[in-house]
């Protein structure tokens, strides 16, 4: 089966890609660029950098811009998937949805309407076990956004590592440990499928504790 | 021992539709075996059986309803989820209708039963086929907008739910395994 992966560049879509890679032919990645962090369906920070990640993966990338409202999101998703079906002959779509029925039901509906299979390999997984799985497979992901107490801006730029997993274990009753509700966002610099790794050359941190973003201004691919 | 049956044609879908069920079974302290829908199964080896759902575009299990015929003489308890609900409905000679339902909907319980004690609750649906009427072999337990979203096989401890309880109503699976 040929599939595309809905790809934000963060830890969940990369883990979904990693799993799909073992069983499917991954034909392309699809990234939607929402206008702001207000978007519920797609991730916002540093989405322009997925072009570098796609290059690191040696996979074609289909991008589609959208506004923040649901109608615009779904139209953009429909258009991108239709394009992927026509250009790459995909039969299915892989997403990194974990627990969000809002995301999952919308992805399912668009896939059904386009005659595509929808796969959600992280669905209902325990969030802490997912974080551990990233570490087990040597994913190098950094925090790029925090949005809510008790996530301070000093978390930005730090790696998702053992300490971070322990931290999220402690606060799991306040904060979804996967950040699926937008509590935090990540960006993957390296993972086993990357032929090269992403090196950040210039960044800026905007915002205050509990609501801050690490904006990557310049980055490049370097040998691993 | 509980038998968990996968109805997934594509094994990758089992991460989404089978693993969440086995995790609930395990968290309740029960052990389980997993079999796939086209395997020959000796149902009598198990005290309870859960037939799981599958991907929206997957209908292959409908070609294998005969595999489940021995259930007609099975004395244990069965919970059919989505595809499993459809298999039970067909096994008892009901007619499925095309009802596309994706997302969260409010379910109304119309018949007291051990799995769903509440009068109303929200559930996550992901199906293309369901029942809007039953024959006299099934008893309606819950409805949603004209769809029969839960039933019991009369004279048996067999239950079918059209929605996915593992998403928002894991207590239904917990109650079933504790029956």
Q: Kind and range of the H or E element at A61?
A: strand A61-66
Compute the average pLDDT of residues B80-87. 98
Residue A220: HSE in the Cβ half-sphere, 13 Å Cα cutoff: 4
Pick the CATH number of A127-223 from 3.90.1490.10, 3.20.20.70, 3.30.300.30, 3.90.1150.10: 3.90.1490.10
d(CA A151, CA A87): 42
Residues B102-146 pLDDT 10s: 999 999 999 999 999 879 999 999 999 999 999 999 999 999 999
Q: Which residues of A touch B103 (CB under 8 A)?
A: 101, 105, 109
Fold of A2-119: Rossmann fold (3.40.50)
**Is the distance from CB of A16 to CB of A96 less than 8 angstroms?**
yes
Contacts of A136 (CB under 8 A, 6+ apart): none
A 10 A CB-CB count for B70 gives 13
Q: How far is B129 from chain A (nearest CA, A)?
A: 13
Residue B131: HSE in the Cβ half-sphere, 13 Å Cα cutoff: 30
Spell out the domain ranges in chain A.
2-119, 127-223
Residues B20-35 pLDDT 10s: 999 999 999 999 999 9
Which domains are seen in chain B, by residue range? Answer: 2-178 (3.40.50.880)
Chain centroid offset of residue A184 CA:
11
Say whether B102 and A105 touch across the interface (CB within 8 A).
Answer: yes
Average pLDDT of chain B to the nearest whole number: 97
d(CA B170, CA B179): 14
**Is the distance from CB of B18 to CB of B164 less than 8 angstroms?**
no
Say whether B103 and A101 touch across the interface (CB within 8 A).
Answer: yes
Q: Which residues of B touch A111 (CB under 8 A)?
A: 56-57
d(CA B12, CA B19): 11
| pLDDT score for A105 | 95
Q: How far is A102 from chain B (nearest CA, A)?
A: 8
Q: What are the angstrom distances between the C-alpha of B12 and each of A3, A89, A188, B6, B57?
A: 12, 19, 24, 11, 13
Of all residues in chain B, the one with the smallest CA distance to A110 is B102
Q: What are the angstrom distances between the C-alpha of B65 and each of A29, B40, B71, B167?
A: 37, 12, 11, 25
Per-residue pLDDT of chain A (224 residues; tens, 9 = 90+): 999 999 999 999 999 999 999 999 999 999 988 776 555 555 555 667 999 999 999 999 999 988 778 888 899 999 999 999 999 999 999 999 999 999 999 999 999 999 999 999 999 999 999 999 999 999 999 999 999 999 999 999 999 999 999 999 999 988 999 998 889 999 999 999 999 999 999 999 999 999 999 989 899 999 99
SS (H, E, C) A106-155: HHHHHHHHCCCEEECCCCCCCHHHHHHHHHHCCCEEEEEEEECCCCCHHH
Of all residues in chain A, the one with the smallest CA distance to B168 is A101
Interface residue ranges in chain A relative to chain B, Cβ cutoff 8 Å:
1, 19-20, 23-24, 101, 105, 108-109, 111-112, 115-126
Question: Helix (H, G, I), strand (E, B), or coil: what is residue A214?
Answer: strand
Q: How far is A124 from chain B (nearest CA, A)?
A: 6
């Amino acid at each position: 089966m040929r599939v595309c992966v809905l790809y934000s560049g963060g830890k969940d879509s990369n883990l979904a890609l990693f799993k799909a890679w073992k069983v499917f032919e991954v034909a392309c990645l699809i990234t939607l660029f929402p206008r702001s962090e207000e978007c519920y369906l797609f991730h916002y920070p540093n989405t322009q950098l997925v072009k570098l990640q796609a290059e690191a993966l040696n996979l074609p990338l289909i991008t589609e811009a959208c506004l923040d409202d649901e109608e615009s999101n779904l139209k953009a998703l429909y258009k991108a998937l239709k394009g992927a079906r026509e250009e790459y002959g995909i039969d299915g779509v892989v997403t990194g949805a974990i627990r969000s029925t809002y995301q999952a039901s919308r992805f399912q509906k668009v896939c059904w309407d386009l005659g595509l299979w929808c796969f959600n390999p992280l669905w209902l997984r325990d969030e802490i076990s997912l974080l551990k799985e990233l570490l087990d497979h040597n994913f190098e992901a950094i925090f790029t956004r925090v949005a809510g107490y008790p996530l301070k801006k000093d978390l930005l730029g730090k790696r998702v590592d053992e300490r971070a997993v322990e931290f999220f274990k402690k606060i799991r009753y306040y904060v979804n440990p996967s950040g699926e509700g937008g509590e935090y966002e990540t960006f993957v610099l390296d993972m086993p499928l990357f032929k090269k790794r992403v090196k950040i050359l210039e960044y800026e941190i905007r915002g205050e504790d509990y609501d801050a973003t690490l904006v990557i201004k310049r980055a490049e691919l370097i040998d691993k | 021992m509980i038998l968990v049956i996968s109805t997934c044609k594509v094994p990758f879908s089992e991460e989404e539709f089978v693993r969440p069920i086995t995790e609930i079974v395990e968290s309740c302290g029960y052990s389980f075996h997993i079999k796939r829908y086209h395997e020959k199964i000796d149902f009598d080896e198990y005290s309870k059986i859960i037939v799981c759902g599958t991907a929206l575009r997957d209908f292959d299990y409908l070609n294998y309803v005969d595999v489940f015929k021995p259930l007609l003489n099975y004395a244990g308890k069965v919970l059919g989820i989505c595809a499993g609900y459809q298999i039970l409905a067909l096994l008892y000679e009901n007619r499925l209708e095309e009802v596309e339902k994706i997302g969260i909907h409010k379910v109304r319980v119309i018949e007291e039963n051990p799995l769903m004690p509440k009068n109303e609750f929200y559930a996550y649906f992901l199906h293309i086929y369901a029942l809007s009427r039953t024959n006299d072999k099934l008893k309606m337990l819950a409805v949603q907008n004209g769809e029969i979203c839960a039933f019991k096989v009369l004279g048996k401890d067999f239950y079918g739910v059209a929605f996915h309880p593992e998403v928002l109503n894991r207590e239904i699976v917990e109650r079933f395994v504790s029956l």
